[in-house]
Chain A
Amino acid sequence: MIRARTLLLATVVLLGTTGCTTTRVFHWGGYESALYHYYKSPDSLDRYAASLEVAVREGRRSNRTAPGLYAEYGYVLHLLGRPAEALSFFELEKATWPESGQLMDIMIRNITPEVERSRTAPDSAARPSPGTEGEV
């Protein structure tokens, strides 16, 4: 017991003094862990969405959202049948990262009819129509 505790303490002290700190350029939130868990249990889309929502909200506050995160969240919103919000996040990705412009233009073009449909038929906007889930 003492050996283990001593070892742990020594490790912590060493880690604290070696200067191995990494300052990140971007804010990622729980993105990596959330994506891992989503792949582990693909039926946990809601949990993945919740993690991304927090990550992009925090990132926007500090203006350091990591590349790709708005687009990943937009795609999840599309899967969840929230096309208007999805569209806004694809636009946000494009505005933040001009490098994503071509891909985001495609996403925006593909989702716009869905947004218009959901505006004219608000009752059906809560869920994606059958057969379209997962299509990009």
Chain B
Amino acid sequence: MMPLRLLWAMLAVAALATGCVTAPAVRMDYSRLYDQNPRSILIVPAVNRSVDVDAPNYYLSTIARPVAERGYYVFPVHLVKRILEDDGLADAALVHQADPARLGEMFGADAIMYVTIERWDAMYAIVSTTVIVEFSYVLKSAKTGEVLWKNSEQRTFTPQQQNNSNGLLANLIAAAITRAAPNYIPLTQQANANAVAGPRGLPYGPLHPRYHDGQPQTEGATPAGSGSGATDSDTSATPPVTMDTG
């Protein structure tokens, strides 16, 4: 009971510490992105540089929502993956090397997002386990192939060490729990949220109610599927921390 509750509290603290940080705005060159003004983004399966073969699939389940919530039409990621596989492009590295214009023509997309999983692992020590994820993100124009935006994010999680009399046992148990089933999803959600909605994130797209904020005026901005009263804030880099992965 105790270790679970401890772990839960630690997770919440970690989420608090990493999720809501409002870093000073970083100057990013958005000029090409504004020039191209993409409405739709094709997110292709991630290239995996980690040793965990499941990472790309699990990753794919986390990336559509944060990108779409910025106001872009995101193509159905699982259907896209299956179409690419049926087209002989099961290897994500091949897809990433392919001509963006060809992919754009295939799906009718304005821009392509390429994610590389740089790290997705858990480092074990006797009384602690550190979970690490790191991703790089590149958005390319499907018309010209040029890079419109790029970013990268790393997140780590280590259960905090307890120094009271129960400390050693608690630390051992916490490390064992983390080690037995490292849960990458909350960290991945935080990384994605900050990458696309943080200070270096994507500007609001045409499907977002705040699309025009700070952007050149363009036509066709009526959100087709967005409903009432969406009041976003610039601290929207807060992902849901818990996800049932049992």
Could you list which residues of chain A lie within 8 angstroms of chain B, going by C-beta atoms? 1, 3-5, 7-8, 11-12, 14-15, 18-26, 28, 31-33, 35-36, 38-40, 62-69, 71-72, 75, 93, 96-103, 107, 134-136
A66 adjacent to B65 (CB under 8 Å) = yes
Other-chain residue from B226, B235, B245 in contact with A25 (beta carbon distance below 8 A): B226
Which 6 A-B pairs rank lowest in CB-CB distance, beginning with the nearest? A102-B108, A68-B76, A99-B73, A39-B57, A99-B40, A35-B61
Q: Are B225 and A63 in contact (CB under 8 A)?
A: yes
The answer to whether residues A22 and B232 also contact, given A66-B68, A103-B107 and a CB cut-off of 8 A, is: yes
Assuming the contacts A1-B2, A4-B6, A31-B65, asked whether A25 and B209 have C-beta atoms less than 8 A apart, the reply is yes
- Binary CB contact string for chain B from 204 to 246 against chain A (1 if under 8 A, 0 otherwise): 0001110000000000000111110111110110100001110
A39 lies within 8 A of B13 (CB): no
Which residue of chain B has the shortest Cβ distance to A32 in the bound complex?
Answer: B61
The interface bits of chain B over 1-20 (1 if a CB of A lies within 8 angstroms of the residue's CB, else 0) are: 01001101100110010011
Give the contacts of B62-94 with A (CB-CB under 8 A). 62, 64-65, 68-69, 71-79, 82-83, 86
Cα of A121 to Cα of B235 in the assembled complex, Å: 55
B39 within 8 A of A: yes
Residues of B within 8 A of A (CB): 2, 5-6, 8-9, 12-13, 16, 19-20, 39-40, 54, 57-58, 60-62, 64-65, 68-69, 71-79, 82-83, 86, 107-108, 110, 164, 185, 207-209, 223-227, 229-233, 235-236, 238, 243-245
**Cβ-defined contact, B69 with A8, below 8 A:** no
Expressed in whole angstroms, the Cα–Cα distance for A26 and B208 within the complex equals 10
Can you pick out 11 interface pairs between chain A and chain B where the beta carbons lie within 8 Å of each other? A4-B9, A7-B13, A32-B61, A36-B61, A64-B226, A71-B76, A98-B224, A99-B73, A100-B75, A107-B79, A136-B86
B73 and A102: CB pair below 8 A?
A: no
Cβ B61 vs Cβ A72 within 8 A: no
A135 contacts across to B, CB distance below 8 A: 86
A12–B78 alpha-carbon span in the complex (Å): 35
Residues of A within 8 A of B16 (CB): 11, 14-15, 18
Select from chain A the residue with minimum beta-carbon distance to B40.
Answer: A99
Beyond the given pairs A66-B64, A93-B76, 12 more chain A to chain B contacts, judged by CB atoms under 8 angstroms and listed by A's residue number, are: A22-B232, A23-B229, A23-B231, A25-B208, A32-B61, A35-B77, A65-B225, A68-B74, A75-B76, A75-B78, A99-B39, A134-B86
Interface contact B5-A25, CB-CB below 8 Å: no
- Taking CB as reference atom, which chain B residue is nearest A103? B107
Are A18 and B232 within 8 A (Cβ)?
A: no
Please give the distance in Å from B180's CB to the nearest CB on chain A: 16
Bound state CA distance, A38 and B78, in angstroms? 10
